[in-house]
Amino acid sequence: MDPTRFGEQFPGQLTPITTLRGKDWAFVPAELPPDWEFPVRLWPVLASAKESLGTLNGIGQTLHDPELLLTPLKTQEAIKSSMIEGTYVTPEELLLYELDPMEPASAMGEMADWNEVHNFSLALAHGCGLLAELPLCNRLLKETHRVLMDGVRGRDKRPGEFRTVQNQIGSGGRYFPPPSAEVSRLMSNLEKYVNLDDPGNRIDPLVRAFLAHYQFEAIHPFEDGNGRVGRLLLALSIYKSLGHRQPWLYMSPYFERYRQEYVDNMFRVSTHGDWEGWIEFCLNGVIEQANDSARRCVRFNELKKDYLALVSPAPRNAHRLVELLFMKPVVTVKRAQDYLGVSSYHTAAKAIDNLVQLGILQRADGTFPKAFFARAIFECAYGAVPVVDGR
């Protein structure tokens, strides 16, 4: 790591280390809170971000079942977060894989990639569950890391335990996190910071969540999977600290869309203490992601109302199947049987055929067993949603 890239007032220190390439330097970030005041010029940006989040939280509560929106948001987060590790899976592939994880013919691609993305979804659900009984703590992070790495690449790199070796970020040694001997101390400080009672509201909880996200990535406490756990920590800390009814906000689509800016802004915190640039970038992302999720929520409600009206003359099973499709917009006859609670294959197949005739379902090419997609629901969940009235 090039020490000349660090300015005079960077928030931490450089310490000499020995790597396979020889002598080098590692960055040890200063403990939180940072020696930094939130700038006046960013108050309007913060206000807009909080307003967008409040709107999303309110709209989300109008849903009969919050999972209607949460399921695709979590799926997108799983897919985009896994791109950090070079794992590329489409929403179609993941949904088909989740229909039958043991059936290789249910999708295209490598089983390892599907497993890794699926594990992220499991880890996120596990983390949300743990928050019901635990604060945001190192135990929770270790538990989610263990679930994340179960049976996939990196399973031999101490899942659920902080690292005991030196690691690096980027090829050519662009960034070396602190030596392993520093990890426990720094993570203990981070744990205290995310649970800090700040009665004076010196730093807004939303801003504090992004400060903590930077710190986690700077520490890189695990041997593998740090990028994904860092995204989990961010989603959970915003959900917890802002008192939302559900974890609505997921930043990975924004971070992946502007990946180089994401990396560069974090690196400038380390090299120059540029907290302002980092926080401005993140708050703009909150506005973009919250508004996008709110648009999806409105569109889901509209689409569901239209579809239920469309199937009103059809048998009751068709109505119930529409409900399922808004959770997972892909179905097989076996899945329909299980969901509808019917023993007859013919009954489930007839319910699917009713929705095909109405144009709600279409056969997915090249799948066995036969799978059917609700394309309009799928596009609402995973495609681009048009901006209306500035949102």
Same domain, 250 and 286: yes
Same domain, 367 and 253: no
* pLDDT-derived band at 246, boundaries 50, 70, 90: confident
Task: Output Rg (C-alpha) for the chain, integer angstroms.
Answer: 23
- Give me the CATH number covering residue 375: 1.10.10.10
Better pLDDT: 59 or 259: 259
Report the predicted TM-score, pTM, of the whole model to 2 decimal places.
Answer: 0.88
Q: Which of 71-75, 181-185, 271-275 has the lowest mean pLDDT?
A: 71-75
- Give me the CATH number covering residue 73: 1.10.3290.10
Q: Mean pLDDT, to the nearest integer, of 112-140?
A: 88
Same domain, 127 and 199: yes
Residues 352-387 as b/e (b if ≥16 CB within 10 A, e otherwise) read bebbeeeebbeebeebeeebbbbebbbebbbeebee
Q: Mean pLDDT, to the nearest integer, of 4-12?
A: 93
Same domain, 89 and 236: yes
Q: Mean pLDDT, to the nearest integer, of 277-298?
A: 94
Residue 387 lies in a domain: no
Most confident of 19-23, 88-92, 369-373: 369-373
Instruction: Identify which of 142, 125, 135 has the alpha carbon closest to the alpha carbon of residue 240.
Output: 135
In angstroms, the CA 71 to CA 79 distance is 12
Q: Mean pLDDT, to the nearest integer, of 90-107?
A: 63
User: What is the average pLDDT value for the chain, to the nearest integer?
Assistant: 87
Same domain, 285 and 347: no
Same domain, 87 and 178: yes
Each residue's pLDDT tens digit, 13-68: 999 999 877 899 999 999 999 999 999 999 999 999 999 999 988 887 777 777 76
pLDDT above 90 for 93: no
Domain limit, last residue, from 296, 326, 353:
296
- The DSSP call for residue 61 is T
Residue 389 lies in a domain: no
Q: What is the pLDDT of residue 1?
A: 87
Q: What is the pLDDT of residue 104?
A: 42
Q: What is the pLDDT of residue 85?
A: 66
* pLDDT-derived band at 387, boundaries 50, 70, 90: very low
Total domains, the chain: 2
Q: What is the pLDDT of residue 88?
A: 66
Same domain, 256 and 343: no
Same domain, 103 and 223: yes
Following DSSP, what letter does each residue of 234-284 receive, concatenated?
HHHHHHHHTT-SS-----HHHHHHTHHHHHHHHHHHHHH--HHHHHHHHHH
Query: Which token pair is 242?
Result: 């802002």
Residue span of the structural domain in which 317 resides: 312-382
Same domain, 336 and 254: no
- The DSSP call for residue 220 is -
Domain limit, last residue, from 262, 296, 330:
296
Q: Measured in whole angstroms, how far is the alpha carbon of residue 135 from the centre of its chain?
A: 19
In angstroms, the CA 325 to CA 371 distance is 12
Same domain, 244 and 279: yes
- Phi first, then psi: give them for residue 361, nearest 5 degrees: -110, 145
Angle at 37 between CA 32 and CA 40, to 5 degrees: 145
Q: What is the pLDDT of residue 92?
A: 78
Domain limit, last residue, from 243, 268, 296:
296
